[in-house]
Amino acid sequence: MTALVTHLQNIARLVVKELRSLRADPIMLVLVFYTFSFTVYTVATGVKLEARDLTIGIVDEDHSEFSRALRDAFGPPLFKVSRPIAANEIDAEMDAGRLVFVLEIPPQFQADLLAGRPTSLQLNVDATAMTQAGNGSVYIQQIIAQEIANRQAGRETTSALPINLVVRAQFNPNLESGWFSSVMQILNSVTLLTIILTGAALIREREQGTVEHLLVMPVTPVEIMLAKMTANALVILVAAVASLVLVVEWLLGVPVAGSLLLFVMGTAIYAFSVAALGILLGTLATTMGQFGLLAIPVFVVTQLLSGATTPMESMPVWLQWIMQIFSPTPHFVAFSQGVLYRGAGLGIVWPEIGKIAIIGAAYFAFALARFRKVIFS
């Protein structure tokens, strides 16, 4: 019992040392503040996945009442620009990027439609704007189908469909992409900065030679490593919770459905796991430059294949297994989405927490072996 108390006291003193070292690095503190405040806000408000303010040109070769009604159907807020153009202007307008969509209405379109003869419309899409192209094409098809159904039914406000389809969007009623991107940005920042802070703390001491001072002190490798992980993970945890409450909930008005305490617990376990990864990378690199070059690809792959950007189900099965076995990030994303979006309790998300803890323990064991070999050999 006395030995355990001594270990805890040593870890506590070393944690204070790490926090003082971080306080003496204003650039790192500014980075933490900027990442969890301005970055979260600007990504949530500036990166919109839904279709808004699209530009569309109409090549009307029919000049009928219905073609004019169809042209008037493309208005705000989905479409910022809806204007008639000539057929020979299509390439020039799309090459210059002034129009994302061009709809071509052929001659005799209304007559063929009313007579029941086969007819067609052509929609040209600038697919370099991938998100707008995909979402906007769906909206345009729906608008055209609705206008045709209204015209055939002889009414302007009712559909000829024999059913009444009612759509309920759960957890995000208005389908606001900012609700999704703001929380995902916090999760990405937790991963990135935990790796950077813990790895940089080790590399900084190795470059400055202060790590040798620890070698002559009555502390063990486990205590030193736990102190670095705990101090930096604690800073990230406080910053993440503050960002969630002040930026996401208060400034952006995004509701948090689940328990904040449960999210803090899961984030603490995840930060411990990622901090172990940061220590591991710090033992593989010898300079800060090498560490940065090593950490960037690790973070990019981890973030892109975590399910925070694209669904895990869209990946090959073998890649899903690799990510879920070797990376705690997909489990943290699933945990956070369950708690923050759907209000899931511990009884639902405990498997994800368990997987994060197991992977983190494996990282810790491997990192400790490397830490002893590189620092104390």
Q: Each residue of 130-156: pLDDT tens digit?
A: 667 777 888 888 888 887 777 766 544
Q: Do 274 and 180 belong to one domain?
A: yes
- DSSP state for residue 343 in the 8-state scheme: -
Q: How many domains does the chain have?
A: 2
Confidence at residue 181, expressed as pLDDT on a 0 to 100 scale: 86
Who contacts 327 (Cβ-Cβ below 8 Å, separation ≥6)? 302, 305, 306, 359
Q: Is residue 165 part of a domain?
A: no
- Mean pLDDT on 287-292: 87
Q: The sheet that has 54-60: what strands, in order across it?
A: 79-84, 54-60, 101-105, 122-125
Q: In the chain, what percentage of residues exceed pLDDT 70?
A: 90
Q: Residue 78's CB: how many other CB atoms inside 10 A?
A: 19
- Mean pLDDT on 103-126: 83
Q: Dmax of the chain from CA atoms?
A: 94
Q: Is residue 163 part of a domain?
A: no
Q: Do 269 and 350 belong to one domain?
A: yes
Confidence at residue 160, expressed as pLDDT on a 0 to 100 scale: 47
Q: Are 56 and 99 in contact (CB under 8 A)?
A: yes
Q: Do 8 and 117 belong to one domain?
A: no
- Mean pLDDT on 293-298: 90
Picking from 116, 138, 153, the residue at the C-terminal end of a domain is 153
Q: Do 77 and 210 belong to one domain?
A: no
Q: Residue 187's CB: how many other CB atoms inside 10 A?
A: 22
Q: Is residue 69 part of a domain?
A: yes
Q: Do 138 and 201 belong to one domain?
A: no
- Mean pLDDT on 64-71: 82
Picking from 118, 153, 188, the residue at the C-terminal end of a domain is 153
pLDDT band at 157 (very low <50, low <70, confident <90, very high): very low
Q: Do 111 and 228 belong to one domain?
A: no
Q: Do 200 and 330 belong to one domain?
A: yes
Inter-helix orientation angle 130-153/65-72, to 10°? 140
- DSSP state for residue 285 in the 8-state scheme: -
Q: Do 41 and 59 belong to one domain?
A: no
Q: Is residue 280 part of a domain?
A: yes
Which range is least confidently modeled, 64-73, 192-201, 330-339?
A: 64-73
In terms of residue numbers, what domain contains 17? 2-46+176-375
Q: Do 241 and 259 belong to one domain?
A: yes
Q: In the chain, what percentage of residues exceed pLDDT 90?
A: 32
Q: Is residue 160 part of a domain?
A: no
- Mean pLDDT on 289-316: 86
Integer Cα distance of 367 and 372 in angstroms: 9
Instruction: CATH number of the domain at 92, please.
Output: 3.40.1710.10
Q: Do 263 and 338 belong to one domain?
A: yes
Q: Is residue 15 part of a domain?
A: yes
Q: Are 328 and 159 in contact (CB under 8 A)?
A: no
Q: Is residue 323 part of a domain?
A: yes
Picking from 113, 138, 153, the residue at the C-terminal end of a domain is 153
Q: Do 226 and 289 belong to one domain?
A: yes
Task: Give 203-231 pLDDT, tens digit per residue.
Answer: 888 777 776 676 667 778 888 889 989 99
Q: Which residue has the higher pLDDT, 267 or 147?
A: 267
Q: Do 148 and 239 belong to one domain?
A: no
Count CA atoms closer than 13 A to 7's CA, side-chain side.
10
Q: Are 135 and 48 in contact (CB under 8 A)?
A: no
Collapsing DSSP to helix, strand or coil, 98 comes out as: coil
Q: Residue 343's CB: how many other CB atoms inside 10 A?
A: 15
CA-wise closest residue to 55 among 176, 136, 142, 146? 136
Integer Cα distance of 141 and 85 in angstroms: 20
What is the value of pTM for the model shown?
0.80
Q: Is residue 105 part of a domain?
A: yes
CA-wise closest residue to 21 among 222, 228, 212? 228
